[in-house]
Structure 1
């Protein structure tokens, strides 16, 4: 990979025509908690609120340098890559056709259109991303345009490496550890390739969503594999198959250095960063911060850089994030309760609740028998240990109940 370091520095310099370097900020809150020097590389503060602009700009710049007449780019994306390409198209004054699933939230469509202006044409195609991608690639071939991959492209990887260049220059020395989120692997591949050459003493940890652990699967198999299913909650990193070019640069990493973050736990991190620090992170943007507790014994006294990769969060999702966070923390549970159909039964149940317990949901599902009715009940509390007291009282009273908090199938239909 000779010359990658110099090429990454050149790519970084070219980016200055588009936006200044993103801040590398010491976070006092996290530093105090872990007894370490925790710095956030704020990729959520680029013009499009994610690092994706770096790769899109770099790849387009390379194509246009080789063929100035080539003025049509195509991508398939429902999120940050679409916005990055749209912004770069407007900068270069070239045409962009962006394919998005029909199910894409209007907010993301509007933002992409705002970034691209008259330079981009947005086409809503397919209910699922695979259908959208197929339509984009077919159109690209017919139109003779250049397809811009979100991660599986050497020039995109080179552009993402600029994050590593800035970290080294801003810190003025090599950090002990860099924590990188992983989806398709473009960011991780670029940053590790650059820093491994420029500062070989730097250590790395990679974090991906538990429901989209494509790097974990690839490391185990020795090659990219396609996951059978993907949890789409961490939409910026929920990728079924890591990029082949990305993995070629990551192959050989220690499997113990690849961490998996549960989707609901990420919600706790998002809320903490919002409420304590005033930092808005999307689920993928919170990945690197979310795994700090797992690394606490490894990072004490060290300089650690967490790359917060994006901040494109739709606040309409905030109730869902809060719900997931409460459930993961054990502060909210759902039960199906068989309530005897007799006077005083409800009052008897209510006396079992503690002073910190609150009913968040109460719904009769149906009368399943003359003598009993099924009730869906959601309870919030201030301490997770309070549920042990409630369950003990339920058991002692003879009430029949079922805790469905962790039952994904029932939760999907009932909650």
Structure 2
């Protein structure tokens, strides 16, 4: 495998230079370790997906595929990598996207592909879009470019590992390699390339809590299709890991797959933006979020490589990311209160708040035939422990309340 991957990496240099492997001083100081970030967010399309697409195209064209139309179904990073490679090779491509795809993603894909690609918006859901793409390939005799479940895609993603070995200081191998997982192409490629240098137990995988396709498959000993997927970490929200990728990863333990809360990922996104000036998409923040779960006690003194898989972040999502981050950090909570309908009741309530507490949301509907009214209130504070004091004040005042911050059904309805 190594020789083929090294050849792919050499060929890739005609497209873009190796992405940097950077020692991050901020994270290294926090964990007492040497934390290296492999910055795939600095590729031409701000994700590693361009690697697999390039390698797939390269192989097809070399085997006589000139003149074929290439087709993919994607609303994200795969589409952008596909489009960039179509323009590079000067071959026609068709990108199928759901009708619900944000205009920003459509525009970026068109920008990367230029005159060489056509975008078709089909269906409200990805499955409908994917089937339309498959039907189109059969109709025109084209070439379907899969996002992750193909040997040439895996080989292309493995070039990340080839670059890491070249970029680490001489004589140093990582004690831990942290890999984000969606469809599994990156993980299958990187672990396959490094298997002779790094023990199996020194790899750690991370998935969003709402899309644990690798974890559930390893637990079952076979590929599992998830019934439901939380799409917030859209770059890794895959309901079924690739079959080839699972075969490459099935010898790992389920305990090596960390399931990370989506709101914890938001904490990483906001921190890396505010402290380091690094823009990460949710999937791109997974490996850094994993550091907090592993903790300083285990990481101290170690050399760690965390792959930052993408930086295609839509800033229209920033308010939601900040909201989720504050809730996860315990700095913001939502309550439903029962407040007496009498003059001065609101003033009495406000007197319960501390100096560091701030009302971020307040909704009150007075009903004339009742003695009490319901209030939805959102409160922000500077330290998580302030909420213990506030709840004690509520109890002492005899105020009936319900904390709905972690009630996903209620929170999604009212927040």
Is residue 308 of structure 2 the alignment partner of residue 289 of structure 1?
A: no
Of residues 118, 125, 150 in structure 2, which corresponds to 1:128? Answer: 125
Q: Which aligned pairs between 1:8-407 and structure 2 lie closer than 5 A? A: 8-171=5-168, 172=170, 173-197=172-196, 203-296=202-295, 297-365=297-365, 367=367, 369-407=369-407
Structure 2 Cα separation of the partners of residues 20 and 366 of structure 1: 63
Structure 2 Cα separation of the partners of residues 203 and 372 of structure 1: 58
Secondary structure (helix, strand or coil) at the match of 1:291 reads helix
8 Å contact kept, 1:177–1:304: yes
Secondary structure (helix, strand or coil) at the match of 1:212 reads coil
Q: 1:202 to 1:13 in 2, by over 3 A?
A: farther
Secondary structure (helix, strand or coil) at the match of 2:210 reads helix
Structure 2 Cα separation of the partners of residues 92 and 11 of structure 1: 15
Secondary structure (helix, strand or coil) at the match of 1:157 reads helix
Structure 2 Cα separation of the partners of residues 71 and 143 of structure 1: 9
Structure 1 Cα separation of the partners of residues 197 and 390 of structure 2: 57
Structure 1 Cα separation of the partners of residues 406 and 179 of structure 2: 29
8 Å contact kept, 1:63–1:70: no
Residue deviations 1:196-223 (CA, integer Å, cap 9, x gap): 1355588210001010000001101111
Secondary structure (helix, strand or coil) at the match of 2:259 reads strand
Structure 2 Cα separation of the partners of residues 369 and 180 of structure 1: 58
8 Å contact kept, 2:339–2:373: yes
TM-score, length basis structure 2: 0.97
Residue deviations 1:275-312 (CA, integer Å, cap 9, x gap): 11111110000100101122233322111100000000
Residue deviations 1:329-355 (CA, integer Å, cap 9, x gap): 111011111121100000000000000
Secondary structure (helix, strand or coil) at the match of 2:195 reads helix
TM-score, length basis structure 1: 0.97
Structure 2 Cα separation of the partners of residues 334 and 223 of structure 1: 41
Structure 2 Cα separation of the partners of residues 218 and 350 of structure 1: 51
Structure 1 Cα separation of the partners of residues 323 and 109 of structure 2: 29
Q: CA deviation at 1:365?
A: 4.3
Count of matched residue pairs = 412
Residue in 2 that maps onto 1:408:
408
Q: 1:196 to 1:70 in 2, by over 3 A?
A: farther
Structure 2 Cα separation of the partners of residues 201 and 144 of structure 1: 41
Q: 1:320 to 1:14 in 2, by over 3 A?
A: same
Q: 1:409 to 1:23 in 2, by over 3 A?
A: same
Structure 1 Cα separation of the partners of residues 383 and 222 of structure 2: 44
Structure 2 Cα separation of the partners of residues 365 and 148 of structure 1: 54
Residue in 2 that maps onto 1:5:
2
Residue deviations 1:94-152 (CA, integer Å, cap 9, x gap): 11110111111110000000000011110111111111111111111111111111000
Deviates more, 1:383-392 or 1:199-208: 199-208
Structure 2 Cα separation of the partners of residues 300 and 38 of structure 1: 10
Q: 1:396 to 1:145 in 2, by over 3 A?
A: same
